[in-house]
Structure 1
Amino acid sequence: MTNKLLLLSVSACALALSACATTPVAEPVSTPAAVEAAPAAPAESAHDALFRLFKESDEAQLGRNPLSAIFRGDMRNADQFGDYISDDYFAGEKAAAEHDLAELAKIDRSALNETDQLAYDVFQFSTKDTLEGLQPQYLNLGKVRPMDHFSGFQTFYPTVSSGDGGIPFKTVQELENGLKRHKGYARYLDAAIERMKQGQAAGVVETKLTVRNMIEQFDNQLKQPVEESPFYGPIRSLSKDIGEADKARLTAAYRDEIANDLYPAMKRVRDYLANDYLASAREGQGLMYMRGGDMLYRRLIRSTTTLDLTPEQIHQTGLSEVARILGEMDKVQKEVGFKGTRAQFFDYLRNDPKFKMKSREALTQGYYDIGKAVDAKLPALFSTIPKTKLEIRPYEPFREKFQAGGSYQQGAPDGSRPGIFYFNAYDLPSRTTPGMTTLYLHEGAPGHHFQISLAQENEALPAFMRFGGNTAYVEGWALYAETLGYDMGFYKDPIQRMGTLDDEMLRAMRLVVDTGIHSKGWTREQAIKYMLDNSSMGKTDATAEVERYIAIPSQAVAYKTGAMTIQRLRAKAQAELGDKFDIKDFHAEVLMTGALPLAILEEKIDRWIAAKKAN
């Protein structure tokens, strides 16, 4: 889950001013001879200018986005929640992007080596994409819808503030920082109400479905006693190193902050959504029913896939992939000897008790066992294993209902905080075992955990390549990682193979359903039925998936788009290199320079293939 959401840098200005300043030399009156000029400083190389720009841009970004900085281990502004919603914030983001592109244009790309040219191209692509999203025609459609049930701060911030999330609460200072951040979160919630009121006035609003889900989310959090709130988690697990006086003071302060600041702010949003905004929310669930929605959807597809694709192209690719995968599923049904229709086979996989876990504890142990089995296979496929550890956890009960089947939370770059693979145990009878291996490969290792951790740990990369990314690459790699279960031998069992086909089918159906909802007017019920008709997934999962696509348009189409690109590049490399192809080398080429836009990734792999052929 990577929120899953640019003012000129003060430090950059200071550097520029200092570079331009000159120190006057006092010439002795009694000496008529000219003073010899000091030797000129050597001209800055293209490489040095490029990496200076990267550093200055990153430093400025960390100052504007303190929560991102905390996840990077930068605690200089850890007492701040951040803005993320005001006109000044968006103006600052836009000014930063314009500044960075102007500075980049001053650097001679042809004077850079191949690795630096790659970094140049990624920075240019990403910054242009950011700048496009900040243009008024797009920004005005997004800023007035600051939260949804899938990616809003109302689920993200309580999770990372729980003491078990991404924000540390071990010291007195860290706990006091938390209190200050919480006040910023309360201010953000009030600002979100004002933004949504602007949207009401402009006729740019969320769907009634999304709003009802958000109301339920706030209700679930508000009904928790203060001492059971995620925000109270750091107090429940106070370090033994904190003295009794500080312990008493901080306990009282957290109890007061939650009861008298956070909960009232959350209730204000909840009541506004229920008593005012819901009546204005739109019935039509696709973006096509929102003013400017068609234009925004095409923009979102460009951003998430990094390619200039139309909704219709994506829809047709999805239909083709669904048909292909159904053929593979029919082969499995024949192999296991199931007598009946395809729909009956799906029902058998959904409902037979042999494919169910009896308890949350059993489900957790199942993922532990899968993790150990995968770990034993990884050295045969990867030359570099992340140093960051990986933990396996169920979602917390307060948020599990509206979450996907699994997700990943990145660890700290220095390894001090592990990456976390979250799995969903909500409505346990609806969860089935055939897809467990492929889910772990996607969210854990070698999926998101490898891709994100290896980039973060590579200090030779500029920060924007270590910590940035795009959906098509990030999710495309994770979906490609699922297919490595074939290389690892996990899918020789036909039921396990059916599990991975089901997950591949999910990503193919997303191409059809996301575009169906947002460009063809599909209803929620129509989309759910399509997913149940073409897979063995349970209705609870299918419902959560469809409501996710309604909340965050276009994100879901990037998975298959990215995976198909990586699979095609692997097949191309194998065909052209023959005996020279090494799977470890291919994975290193894909992974070790961070998340690349798909066209830039393809250019990189083509250069690698040519170099290998020439040796």
Structure 2
Amino acid sequence: MRNLLTIHTALIPVLLACAAIAPRPAQAEAATDPAPTSPEARFRAISSSEWTWRLEQDGHAPGDTPETPQKFLPDVSPAAQAARLTRWQEVRRQIAAISPDSLPAGSRVDYAVYTGQIDALIADQTCRAYEMPANSDTAFWTGIEGDTDFHPKNEAEYRSYLTRLSQVGRYFHDQTDNMRAGLAHGLTPPRVTLQGRDASIAAYLGKPPAETAFYAPFLDMPATIPAATQAALRKEALATIRETVIPAYQTLLTFFRNEYFPHTRTTLSAETLPDGKACYQAAIREYTTTDLTPDQIHKTGLEEIAKIRAEMQQTMKASGFTGDMPAFLAWLRKAPQFYAKTPDELLKDAAWIAKQVDGRIGRYIGHLPRQRFGIVPVPANIAPFYTAARGGAGVYLVNTWDLPARPLYALRALTLHESAPGHAFQLPLAAENKDQPDFRRYSYLSAYGEGWALYCERLGDEMGLYETPYDRFGMLSYQAWRAARLVVDTGIHHMGWTRDQAIRYLLDNTALSRHEVETEVDRYISWPGQALSYYLGEMAIRQARAKAEAALGPAFNIRAFHDVVLQTGSVPLPELTTRVDQFIHDGGKGPYPDEE
């Protein structure tokens, strides 16, 4: 499940639900577009108009940015889905008529990014992804109450929030209609990946309206709102939650348990779905920004696992352990010194690691983001099915559920990836780069974003952040985990692997806990292609860096290189390689004046 802006998909379950007004007819919108003559002006007019429309599809008012709280919940009806496909196909036809060679050099990158976005949106609509609006850890019914730091700032934002709550019944009705259509077409997530996920719906039920998560923003309202207005807003909120929201969740729970879950498919492979081979290849193209085949990716994964395994073996010996690798993995999974005793201990360790990064990062990155981030636990209603952590602009979510599944030896790599200098740096830097069009500032390409975050785990080795052999082994285990995804994702969706095969492969090649392995495998089963982006993206960045180091020699500046990668923003991997080639051609000069 992804929203239309292709923002950081990892945070969708805890972000405010994406929202939209009913889409305007594509033809009517196109008729009002200006008709500039130069290729550059035509491209800007087309992309700007579509981006504004796309924001409205996600629930924003004209003039809003994706950072502005949404005003509406989406129209996800079949008519709206058809209108979106029509609009994006027309946009694709219009931009195809513009030759990239006719654009200035900088605009060619914008063109490549934008074309990839439109192609991915068309593929999602054509493959009817909207008929599967829930997977093993992401669902449309979570996050409507806002993210972990959601708090309206004024009366207008409270009224927008109330509007969204009032639309929950209509929104859930449309989503379940789409799910029924998916059942009829054979388009559902595999049943095994939805086992127990009804608990994330039931978690919203069984409480009085005033004790639900939906009412939390009304418990402490800003003093700038008059007392009488506060009272009226609270009264409306309680009535809306009682009369609309809770009944919608109850109806959804009944539908999920009685009608949907029992009839979901028992197969795993994406290629067994209608148009499955084409849709899986489209997913590979979207998430890796390459045209690699499943067989090529599978082979790469096997080769990289072998390389990482050798490093793991050396690090195990450095720890003083005298047994073999299976014994070492078994010991790591149960040795009590590697596990926090309380949620607060895990959160505080994560915070300490993040502050250690703060003390060293200036030697590795020249231009740092202005936005800070907080560290908070994953919400309880999704924590049992959620990954170990996720991060982004302003937040580092740490899963404190089932502490024996959260090894401390992996926490340093996890923190580097999800917070500083990974997602909590890359995403704000993109948004703060006002030299780029909004469709680049606020959009996310997984190969680039996840590739950067995984690269940051390796960078921690250079930064001296892995203080013990166990910390370093945790990093290598995470590298193996991402390389293993190349094998497992293609194994499941292309080669017919079973769930048990995938679980065993990860248990044999990483130090992940069994709970995390099972959660991750279910994610790969229900989200084809996404898992491929991490390691392929990291490989591209590491290869580009090696090329720059070899070409520039003593002139290579690590801060300038990282600034180039981050300033370029979320781009297809071939475009990132081209930008690093320009960096080499410029003699290692970065985009900012203070890199030295």
TM-score (norm 2): 0.90
Equivalence for 2:71? 79
1:557-596 per-position Cα deviation (integer Å, ceiling 9, x unaligned): 1111111111111111111111121112211221113200
* Alpha-carbon offset, residue 234 of structure 1: 0.5
Equivalence for 1:305? 288
CA gap 1:291/1:130 in 2 versus in 1, 3 angstroms: closer
Structure whose alpha-carbon radius of gyration is higher: 1
1:172 matches 2:155: yes
1:371-410 per-position Cα deviation (integer Å, ceiling 9, x unaligned): 1100111111112100111111111212211111111243
The match for 1:59 among 52, 63, 69 is 52
The match for 1:420 among 395, 413, 426 is 395
Gaps of 5+ in 2: 1-9, 591-596
Q: Distance in 2 between matches of 1:180 and 1:199?
A: 28
1:505 matches 2:480: yes
* Alpha-carbon offset, residue 67 of structure 1: 5.7
Q: Distance in 2 between matches of 1:238 and 1:120?
A: 44
The match for 1:254 among 202, 218, 237 is 237
CA gap 1:109/1:280 in 2 versus in 1, 3 angstroms: closer
Q: Distance in 2 between matches of 1:200 and 1:51?
A: 40
* Alpha-carbon offset, residue 102 of structure 1: 4.1
1:405 matches 2:388: yes
Alignment of 1:535-550 (within 5 A): 535-550=510-525
* Alpha-carbon offset, residue 2 of structure 1: 4.6
The match for 2:437 among 462, 465, 470 is 462
Q: Distance in 2 between matches of 1:565 and 1:614?
A: 20
* Alpha-carbon offset, residue 45 of structure 1: 5.3
CA gap 1:14/1:201 in 2 versus in 1, 3 angstroms: closer
1:525 matches 2:500: yes
* Alpha-carbon offset, residue 473 of structure 1: 1.0
Task: Kindly provide the amino acid, as one letter, of the partner of residue 496 in structure 1.
Answer: D
Equivalence for 1:219? 202
* Alpha-carbon offset, residue 111 of structure 1: 4.7
Q: Distance in 2 between matches of 1:490 and 1:74?
A: 36
1:609 matches 2:584: yes
Q: Distance in 1 between matches of 2:58 and 2:547?
A: 40
* Alpha-carbon offset, residue 551 of structure 1: 1.9
TM-score (norm 1): 0.87
- Other structure's SS at 2:390 match: strand
The match for 2:140 among 135, 153, 156 is 153
Equivalence for 1:33? none
Equivalence for 1:413? none
* Alpha-carbon offset, residue 3 of structure 1: 4.4
The match for 2:104 among 99, 113, 135 is 113
Equivalence for 1:278? 261
Alignment of 1:425-444 (within 5 A): 425-444=400-419
Residues 150 and 551, structure 1, Cα contact 8 Å, conserved in 2: no
Task: Kindly provide the amino acid, as one letter, of the partner of residue 66 in structure 2.
Answer: R
* Alpha-carbon offset, residue 297 of structure 1: 1.8
Alignment of 1:336-351 (within 5 A): 336-351=319-334
Residues 67 and 81, structure 1, Cα contact 8 Å, conserved in 2: no
Q: Distance in 2 between matches of 1:602 and 1:456?
A: 22
Equivalence for 2:4? none
1:576 matches 2:594: no
The match for 1:482 among 450, 454, 457 is 457
Residues 51 and 462, structure 1, Cα contact 8 Å, conserved in 2: no
Alignment of 1:106-145 (within 5 A): 107=98, 109-135=100-126, 138-139=127-128, 142-145=129-132
Q: Percent identity?
A: 31
CA gap 1:552/1:156 in 2 versus in 1, 3 angstroms: farther
Gaps of 5+ in 1: 20-42, 411-418
CA gap 1:362/1:2 in 2 versus in 1, 3 angstroms: closer
Residues 33 and 49, structure 2, Cα contact 8 Å, conserved in 1: no
Q: Distance in 2 between matches of 1:117 and 1:289?
A: 37
- Other structure's SS at 1:421 match: strand
1:300-326 per-position Cα deviation (integer Å, ceiling 9, x unaligned): 112111111222222221122222211
1:242 matches 2:225: yes
Q: Distance in 2 between matches of 1:530 and 1:132?
A: 31
1:468-497 per-position Cα deviation (integer Å, ceiling 9, x unaligned): 121111111111111110221113531111
Aligned-CA RMSD value: 2.5
Equivalence for 1:560? 535
CA gap 1:106/1:275 in 2 versus in 1, 3 angstroms: closer
Q: Distance in 1 between matches of 2:324 and 2:60?
A: 51
